[in-house]
Structure 1
C-alpha cells in the first residue's frame, strides 16, 4: 500500500481539514444554543427581583393584585380562582407536565434506562432529598413548622441548568448529564411528597373520573388523527378531577405526561418522510406538502414534540409569572431581623445549601470510593462538588411548598427569605468551586492526555492486548480524512505487526456530516453481533451512501441478524455508548477529526504512515493501560 503523505502542515491539508472540523456557529445559532437555559434563568431572576421590589414598594398593591378573583363558568357550573391560584394551580400544571415528560423520556430512552448508568444520579438525588430534610427538622424543631421540611428537598431545574450554563466549568458535558438525571429523580421525589404529604381534604371519588380520563390519554396514541384536541379535552377533565379530589391539581400534569408515548425516531419512517419531501420539491403542491409535513411530524414521538412546543412557554412565561406571584417577600428591617433569628429561615438555608452539598457530594464520593456506577472523564469530584452546591438552588418548588405547607403569614415571609438567601448563597458557592476547579486544570494541559484508559471489554480494539504501542482514533465514518488516517494506520499495522494495537472511538461531527451519528450508532449495533470492524470498513467504503436503507442493506450483506440489528439501533445501550465517546471527546476539547492519541498522548502534525511510525518511535513502549 502506498504511503499517504497528507499532513495538516501543508496548505492543501489545512484547507481540506476544515471539512473535518465543527463549523463556526453564527451569532443567531449561538443565541439559540444558549437559548432557554440562560435566558429562562435570567427571566426567572428578573421576575424574582421585580416581585421583591413590588412587594416592598407597595405590599398592599402586590397582594391585592394576585388576590383578584376570576370566574369562569357555564350556567350553574362556575370555577372561581384568584390570579395567584391561576398561576399556582393552572399554569404550574403545565410546568409539571413538562417535568413529567422529561421523567418519562429519561426512563424510556434516556440516562435512567441502565442501572449502572443511573445508579450515581439516583443515589445522589435520594441523598439530596433525605439529608436536607433531616437538617431542616433538626434546626426548625420547636418552631411548630417542622412539617414544612418539603421546602428544602427539591432543586430548581430551570435555575440549575441556567446557572450551569453561566458559571459552569470549561467542560460541563458529563456534569450536565449527571445533574439533569439527578434533577429528574429529585423532581419525582418532590412530586411524590407534594402528593402524599401536602394534600388536604382528600376526596377519592373524583379520582375515579381522573383514572378514566388517564386511561383515555393512554389509548389516544392509537388514533390515526386528531389526537391534539382529544389530549386537550381529556387533560382538562383530569385536571378538574384532581382539583375536586383535593390532590393538588398540578400533579395532574405529571400523571398525564407519564402516559404520553416516547420513542426514538424509526429510521425507515424518517427516510419515508424525506422521500415525501423530495417528491414535494420535484412537484410542489398542497397534498404533497401536507403528506411530507405529517410524515416528518409522526416520525418524532409525541413526548418530544410536546417538550419542544411547551418548553419556551414554560421558560419564558410560566416560571417568570410564578416567581412574580410567589417571590414577593417584604424585606423591611423588622422582617429581616425576625428572619435572622428564625429557626425556619436557618433550617431552609442550612437544608438547601449544606444539606444538598453533603447529600449529593457525599453519596457520590462514597460511590466513587467503592467503584459503584459509571463515572466518565470530566465527571470529577471537584466538579461534582460544584454541581452539588448548585443543587442548593431550590427556588421554584421550594416557594411552591411554602405556600402549601405554611399558613402563618409571618412564617411564610421567613421561609421565603430563607429560600431566596439559600439560592444566592448556593450560586455564589458553586461559582467559587468551579473557578477553583478550572484553575487547577490549566488550558495548556487540557486534552493532551487520553482522558479515559483503554478498556478491552468496552472499547473497539484491533490488535494484541499486550502490544507496546497504541493508537487511539477519535473519528467520524463520513469524514474522508478519517478514511485516509485509517489507511495510514493500516500501513503502520502491517509494519509493526503485533506490536501495535488500534482503538476506534466515536466523534461524529453532526453539523458537518448529517449521517455521521447514525453511522456511529449502526456500527455499535453491529458490534453487539461481533461485526464492528467489518461494519466500519463497509461505512468507510461508501461514505456518500449512509441513509437508513443503506445501513440496513450493509447489515444484511455482512450476514447480521437484521431484525435484531434494527432493534439495537434504538437501544439505550447503543446510543449511550456513542454519546459516552462524544462526551469524552468534548472533555478533551476535540473539535476536528481525525484526532489521534499515540501511547496516550495527543498527536499533532501529519498522520501519514511514516509520520505515525516516527511518532511511535519517539515514545517509550508502554504496557496497555488498565481500565
Structure 2
C-alpha cells in the first residue's frame, strides 16, 4: 500500500514538473514573439545605429593597451546561452530518468518522429544547396524552438489535449540532442588537443564526484565553469560544456536513514504540540492590533517596564524556531540537485536569457543590400522547416507504428502528430544559434547569416500560422460542464 502511495506521489510530482515546464515555455514563447517584433522594428528604424552599436559593445576587463573580453552579442550567444543549454541538458536527463523518455517503449515513438524531423529537412536543404559553400548550413533547417511552439499551443488553451503537449516536449528534447550532436560533429573547425585533455580531465572529475554521491551543487557549478573555459578554448562550441555538465549533475536525492529519522522526530514534535491544543504557528500570548499606539506601548514596555509580562513567550518561540530550522535543513539534504537547479534555471532562461537572445539576434536590417539569392539558403531553409519538418515527423512516426517498432499514445491521433510536426517547423532560437556558427567562416559569412535569419523568421511565421490552424482543425473543443 505504501509503495503504491509513493508511486502515485512521484507520478503527481512529475506531472507538476511537466506542467510547470509547459507553462514557463508557453509564456516564454509569447515573450519571444514580442522581442522578435521589437528587434525588427528597432533594427529598421532611426535607432538602428544604436541597436547595432549595442551588439558590438565590448564587455570585459581593460588595463591600458591590454584587455580581455567580448562583445555583448558574443557574450549572449556563448556565455548566457550556455545556461540555456544547461537547462536543456537537465530537461533531457530528467525526461530520460523519470519522464516521458524513461524506457524504450516510451522513447521510441517521439525519437523516431524527431529523427524524421531532422533527416528530411536536412535532405531538402542539401537538395537545394548541394555543391555550394552554403551546404554547410544544413543544421539551420532541422531545429525546433520549444518555447515558440508551446507558446502557439497556449493560444488554443484547453482545446489542445495534454498528449499533444507531451509529444511536442519529448520530440523537442530529442530534436535538441540531435542539434547538439550536429554542432559537435560538423561545426567544429579547429581542435586544440591540450585544452581537450583539460576538458576531459574535468569531465572525469565530474563523473567521479557524481559516482561518490556528492550532492553539493556549488562543486559541480565551479567545475562546470572550468569545463566551459576548457571547451571554449579547445575549438568545440562552448555551449556543449553546459550539456556535459547537466548530465553529470546527480538526478537522485542523497537522504540517509539518520536524516529521515531526525526529520520524523521533529515532525512528531509538531504533532505533539498540535494534539495538545496549541497552535504551532501562533507564539503570541497577547493579540495586539497593529497601530502607532500599540507600537508605542511595546517600546515603552521594552525600555521602561521591568515587569515579567512579555508580548511573546520567548522560550516557546525559540523551541518552535529550532524545530522549523531543523526541518528545513533536513529537507534541503533530501532535495534532488537536478530538479533544484532546473527550477532555478527555468524562469531565468524563459523570461530573460532566451528573450535577450531573440532581441540581440533577430534584428535584421532589411534593405536593398540583402541578397536573398545567395545560393539557395532562403529557399532551402523555408522549405526544410515548413515542409520537411512535418513530413519527416509524420512519416517516421507512421512507419514506426506500422512496422510495430513504436507504439503511439492512444489519445494522440496521426492528424495531431502532423499538426505538432508543423509547429515543430518553428526553428527560431536553435536555428539562429546554428546559423551564427554555420556560415561565419564563409567568404560572404555575414551576408549569409542575415539571409538565413530572414529565412528563419519567415519560415517560423509560416509554421506558426499553419501549425495553429492544423491543431485547431485536429482537436475538438471540450464541452462545457453545466453546474446543476
TM-score bin, normalised by smaller chain: 0.7 to 0.9
**Residues 176 and 260 of structure 1: is their aligned pair in 2 closer, same or farther, counting only changes over 3 Å?**
same
**Residues 52 and 69 of structure 1: is their aligned pair in 2 closer, same or farther, counting only changes over 3 Å?**
same
Greater relative contact order (Cα < 8 A, sep 6+): 2
Q: Report the counterpart of residue 344 of structure 2 in structure 1.
A: 309
Q: Report the counterpart of residue 355 of structure 1 in structure 2.
A: 388
Q: Does 1:297 align with 2:332?
A: yes
Q: Does 1:416 align with 2:406?
A: no
Q: Report the counterpart of residue 331 of structure 1 in structure 2.
A: 366
Alignment match of 2:31 (pick from 38, 43, 46): 43
Q: Does 1:262 align with 2:251?
A: yes
Q: Deviation string for 1:180-202 (max 9, x for gaps)?
A: 11111111110011111111221
Once the two structures are superposed, the pairs formed by residues 112-511 of structure 1 within 5 Å of their partners are 112-141=101-130, 143-167=132-156, 170-221=159-210, 227-263=216-252, 273=263, 276-277=266-267, 279=269, 282=273, 284-332=319-367, 335=370, 338-339=371-372, 343-407=376-440, 408-438=445-475, 441=476, 443=478
**Residues 402 and 266 of structure 1: is their aligned pair in 2 closer, same or farther, counting only changes over 3 Å?**
same
**Residues 56 and 433 of structure 1: is their aligned pair in 2 closer, same or farther, counting only changes over 3 Å?**
same
Q: Output the CA distance in 1 between the equivalents of 2:261 and 2:384.
A: 51
- Quote the offset at 1:235 in angstroms: 1.3
**Residues 84 and 312 of structure 1: is their aligned pair in 2 closer, same or farther, counting only changes over 3 Å?**
same
Q: Output the CA distance in 1 between the equivalents of 2:213 and 2:322.
A: 18
Structure ranking higher in helix proportion? 2
Q: Output the CA distance in 2 between the equivalents of 1:191 and 1:148.
A: 14
| Worse overlay, 33-42 or 55-64 | 33-42
Q: Output the CA distance in 1 between the equivalents of 2:390 and 2:264.
A: 48
**Residues 276 and 333 of structure 1: is their aligned pair in 2 closer, same or farther, counting only changes over 3 Å?**
farther
Mapped contact 1:108–1:263 kept (Cα < 8 A): no
Mapped contact 1:171–1:378 kept (Cα < 8 A): no
Q: Deviation string for 1:116-152 (max 9, x for gaps)?
A: 1211101111111111011001112355301100111
- Quote the offset at 1:280 in angstroms: 5.8
Give SS of 2:44's match.
Answer: helix
| Worse overlay, 215-224 or 132-141 | 215-224
Q: Output the CA distance in 2 between the equivalents of 1:240 and 1:46.
A: 33
Mapped contact 1:155–1:394 kept (Cα < 8 A): yes
Q: Output the CA distance in 1 between the equivalents of 2:433 and 2:65.
A: 31
Q: Give the gaps of 5 or more residues in structure 2.
A: 1-18, 274-315
**Residues 276 and 190 of structure 1: is their aligned pair in 2 closer, same or farther, counting only changes over 3 Å?**
farther
Give SS of 1:378's match.
Answer: coil
RMSD: 3.2
- Quote the offset at 1:443 in angstroms: 4.5
Q: Output the CA distance in 1 between the equivalents of 2:321 and 2:63.
A: 40
Mapped contact 2:159–2:478 kept (Cα < 8 A): no
Q: Output the CA distance in 2 between the equivalents of 1:160 and 1:271.
A: 46
| Worse overlay, 234-243 or 172-181 | 172-181
**Residues 349 and 168 of structure 1: is their aligned pair in 2 closer, same or farther, counting only changes over 3 Å?**
farther
Q: Output the CA distance in 1 between the equivalents of 2:91 and 2:190.
A: 30
Mapped contact 1:102–1:184 kept (Cα < 8 A): yes
**Residues 264 and 227 of structure 1: is their aligned pair in 2 closer, same or farther, counting only changes over 3 Å?**
closer
| Worse overlay, 346-355 or 141-150 | 141-150
Give SS of 1:71's match.
Answer: strand
Length-normalised TM-score, structure 1: 0.61
Number of corresponding residues:
415
Q: Give the gaps of 5 or more residues in structure 1.
A: 1-30, 447-588, 593-604, 606-627
Q: Report the counterpart of residue 301 of structure 2 in structure 1.
A: none
- Quote the offset at 1:223 in angstroms: 7.7
Q: Output the CA distance in 2 between the equivalents of 1:101 and 1:212.
A: 22
Q: Output the CA distance in 2 between the equivalents of 1:74 and 1:216.
A: 35
Mapped contact 2:143–2:179 kept (Cα < 8 A): yes
Q: Output the CA distance in 1 between the equivalents of 2:345 and 2:253.
A: 19
Give SS of 1:80's match.
Answer: strand
Mapped contact 2:29–2:151 kept (Cα < 8 A): yes
**Residues 416 and 91 of structure 1: is their aligned pair in 2 closer, same or farther, counting only changes over 3 Å?**
same
**Residues 297 and 222 of structure 1: is their aligned pair in 2 closer, same or farther, counting only changes over 3 Å?**
farther
Length-normalised TM-score, structure 2: 0.78
Q: Does 1:53 align with 2:41?
A: yes
Q: Output the CA distance in 2 between the equivalents of 1:224 and 1:138.
A: 49
